[in-house]
Amino acid sequence: MVPAVAFDTLRFSETLVTGGFTQLQAKAIAQAFTDATGQELATKSDIA
């Protein structure tokens, strides 16, 4: 499996707010990104 990568959700959401998103939007996007990337994905060698 692919090793986990540290992801700073606070910094990510602060960057979104700086870019024009509301705090609520930024938190939701950060959570969705964490949920989507937090799952372990099988690599080609895992299923071969």
Residue closest to 7 by CA, chosen among 41, 15, 43: 15
Mean pLDDT of the chain: 85
Residue closest to 4 by CA, chosen among 37, 30, 45: 37
Predicted structure pTM score: 0.68
Q: What confidence score (pLDDT) does residue 10 get? A: 94
* pLDDT-derived band at 48, boundaries 50, 70, 90: confident
Q: Give the CA angle between residues 24, 19, 35 to the nearest 5°.
A: 50
Above pLDDT 90, what percent of the chain?
A: 52
Q: Please state the φ and ψ torsions of residue 6, each to the nearest 5 degrees.
A: -65, 135
Distance CA 23, CA 39 (A): 25
Q: What is the pLDDT of residues 25-35, one digit of tens each?
A: 999 999 999 88
Instruction: Judge whether residue 43 has pLDDT over 80.
Output: no
Residues contacting residue 26 through CB under 8 Å, at least 6 positions apart: 12, 13, 14, 16, 17
